[in-house]
Every structure is written in C-alpha cells, then in structure tokens.
A and B are shown apart, each in its own frame.
Chain A
C-alpha cells in the first residue's frame, strides 16, 4: 500500500491550488465551522443558498492535504447544484468513505445495498480519487470534515429560510 494510493495527483493538485478558497459575507451566506478533534484541523464553510440552489460556496480554515483537497473538490462538486443534488453528492461521498465494518447481524447486507444505491445515485467523478483514503482509516475523518460541515451548513440555510 503505497503513498500514491493516498496522495493521488489530483488530490495534490487541489491541495496546492485550492478552489473556492475565501469567505462570503454572512448573512446572507451561512458560516459553519468544523473541527477534527484528532488533529486540531479546523475548516470554515461559507454557503450561500439562493432559491434552492447552492449559489456560492467558499472554504476557509487550515488542515492537512487530505482535508484541504477534499474541501476544495467538494466545493467544485456542489457549487451551482440544487440543494437536493448537493445532499445526494454528500451522501454518496460519505458512503464511499464509510469503512466496511464486519456486522454480526443480517442488517449488514441491507446496509451494503443501501450504500451501493447511494453511490450509484450520483457520479462522483474526480472525488473518486479520494477513495484510497479508506485504506488509511485514521485519515477518513480528514476527508469527511468539510462534508459534515457543509451538511450542517445546508441544514442551517434550510432552517433560516423556513423561519
């Protein structure tokens, strides 16, 4: 299991030249912070939802190459999408990142099928480069940090508009 499985060229490219780096005025954008308690990484996601569409999204904070490139690729993947589409990408990405744990009950099979269905739902494209992270379990939290933070941002944006 070599380093190239983890640090694919496209990941290093996003790390060196992160997309959508910066801040948005909040409000109207929602600002959410995410922390990785393991390593102290912190990420800030600014997400501006207009008429049910992720109109703009910016990433701030600091972290390792995996968390930074994952955030950059995420921003490119969801910007301009509708909120349901963005949520589908989040689900598919998190499904790809989940460790296939050994389960003792029959739910395991059903869970695996549900995961496959989620992943089939959307094309992850470049994001599939991050699949190698699953083989380095301590780094999974690095890869999913921005996604969990975005999910929370979409929840808050939805709540703000409903209110």
Chain B
C-alpha cells in the first residue's frame, strides 16, 4: 500500500520541463494548485477533439455523448467522497464559489439579523469573506473557534460557542498549518445545537480518504485543480433535503424547469444550482483525476504524505535547528503535507525568489488567511506542500536551496 513515486512522476509531463541552468522542477506548491497527470490532459483534449457539444440539450449523438461523459464524472466524484446520490453533487467554478453558494442560497433563506454563525480562526478567506459579507448585509453575528498554541483548534469553549448558532463553517485541514481539524466532533456539537455544518474540504479531499457522512458534514466544498484536475471546476456536495429546500444561487439557462414572463420554476437537483453552460471539459478532466487517485488508492496517498511530511519535519529541524521555525502540529499523523515556516530573519518573498533559482517552487505570503497570520503574529510565511509526485529528493532539494538562500543573505 505504498506509492511508486518514481514511476508515477512520469505521468506528469510538467516535471520533465527543462529549466534554465538544467535544474529539475521541484514543485512544492500543490496546496495552491496541483500538477496534472497526462490522463487528465488527454481526457479533456479527447473530449474537445471527438465529443464536444453543449450538454443536456442536443438530441443528437455527440451532444448525448457529452452529457453522458459529464454525468459519469459526477458519479465518479460522488463515489469518491461517499455521497449517497449523484444529484447531491453540484459543479461550480471553484471551491470559493461553492462556499459562496452556501452563504447566499442557504444563508439568505435561513439567516436573519442577530443569528449566529460559528467559524474558526484558521479559515481560508473563502470561508470567511462570504460570511463577513452576510454580516454586513443581514446583520448576522460571527463567532470563532480559536487556535491553540499547539497548532490545533482550542475546543475548550466549544459548548458555549456553539450554543444557539444556526451554522458552523469549518475547514477540514488548514492550508497554512496543515492542521487536521476534529470535524466530526465539532459537527456533532453543531448538530446537537441544531446547526448546519459546512466543511471546506479544499485541502482535505485531495489528500485523505473522504467520506462526507463519516465527517458529519451537511455541505462539503472542494476544488478540482488541487486534486490533479483542471482549474475552473469546483464541487459542492450537500444533503439532498437541504439543497432541495434552498433557493437557487445563480439564475439562467439549465437551472430552470419553466420560465414565464411573471416567474420561473427551478430545475431539479443538481442542475438547479448549475446556471449556464457548465465547464464540460473541466468536469470530464476532474473525473479522470478522480479515476487516477482511486487507482493509486487514497489510503496510499495519505500514507505517502504522512511519511514524506515526517521526513521533511525531521530533515528541516536537523539541518537548520533554531534557524527554522515550523508552524502547526509537530506530529505528521495530525497534519497534512503542508509546511509553513520562517527561516532566520529572511523574508518569505526573498526565500521564495532565491529557491526558484534552484528550481524549487514554494509559496510565500499570507496564503489567503490573514486573520490566522495576525493570530500567529507574523506577516507572511514560506510554505512547502506535497502531493503524490513529491519524494525525499524534493525535500533534500528544498533544504539544499535553503542553505544557498542563507548564504546569499548572510
């Protein structure tokens, strides 16, 4: 149950890209966006070359074929996350749009001034700003589960915080700290309080076996491009009865059953939430990415990342000691393959720029989590993140390039 990384690296054409100076590409920014295996690229190209037509409309061969391919992708995604029914799987532009869909469609129908929504201090802006907008527009109250000093959420005040809330929004894995959050425990407390639970799974679904029922989610959002799939395709899973009771989000073609000059009747699930021509090729590409991950085995993907993250934590600590400050939980079993760090007093921008000279790609900045940065008392971090195609040689290349960075700025 381990990954043959050397072999699967050959599936990713970008890893062969020649770079100035002859260094190989050491891609350590998969938490921002993953690379794509050839099978995903081929599925999309093949679709455009042989099958393209608009879906759910044409009564001719290729249109029916395009529709079938898109709906098969929906079935694959549904199985991938343990959804009970494919009609609970809604395609949107990205993870952010999915969370905006929940805030706007569910939120506007169910929240009134003074109603409370509980979030966490470690959320990505995508699961903060839509609720901050609702606070402005509806006058809802926002509460936050704080971050403890051990890199985990501090649940000591959970009973008090969850009391009376209508909705709880929580990331399953921090994109900055790598922290895996106790989604089930928080979801149980939320449900006991009568609240609905929205899970931001953008960092979780690509890296861990996902079962929305086991997590205790009512809504679960993630994006295709972090999961070996293309950009432009996000997934929102929601419990059917909640989705059915919600008004539509965007209006237009596809999402209606009937339109009169004095009104409209929305379509059934899932199309009720898919206004306009969908990203068909991207959906098919996502289906191919899911196939690829299922063939690898998500247990093996997770095991590989725990192993590699452990190696990285040991290597960076051993080589740089107190010059290296790593944020988040110290046990690789309690975190994903995301390592945010400060290195000496060198600014993350400068680190990232110098690492690039060695072909090492890491992210520098606030990672769209400014409240968390404030909580940590820093402006920015450098962040290395791993996926199936990374190996120990990549970690060693990062450490070597950090040595060069240190020499450059000394």
Contact = CB atoms under 8 A, between A and B. Distances in A.
Interface of A: 2-3, 6-7, 12, 15, 38-42, 62-66, 136, 139, 142
Contacts of B347: 41, 62-65
Given A62-B347, A139-B349, 19 more contacts: A3-B353, A3-B354, A3-B408, A6-B353, A7-B408, A15-B409, A39-B348, A40-B366, A40-B373, A40-B380, A41-B349, A42-B379, A62-B379, A64-B349, A64-B350, A65-B409, A66-B349, A66-B350, A136-B353
A64 B379 CA distance: 11
Interface residues of B, number: 16
Contacts of A12: 409
**Shortest 7 CB-CB distances between A and B: which pairs?**
A64-B347, A40-B379, A64-B349, A40-B366, A40-B380, A39-B365, A65-B350
Nearest to B354: A3
Contacts of B353: 3, 6, 136, 139
Nearest to B356: A3
Nearest to B378: A40
Interface of B: 347-350, 353-354, 357, 364-366, 370, 373, 379-380, 408-409
Nearest to B346: A65
B84 to A, nearest CB: 41
Contacts of A63: 347, 379
Contacts of A38: 365
Contacts, number: 46
Nearest to B20: A1
B346 to A, nearest CB: 8
Contacts of A41: 347, 349, 379-380
A42 B379 CA distance: 8
B341 to A, nearest CB: 15
A38 B366 CA distance: 8
A39 B347 CA distance: 10
20 contacts: A3-B353, A3-B408, A6-B353, A7-B408, A38-B365, A39-B348, A39-B349, A39-B364, A39-B365, A39-B379, A40-B373, A40-B379, A40-B380, A41-B347, A63-B347, A63-B379, A64-B347, A64-B349, A65-B409, A139-B349
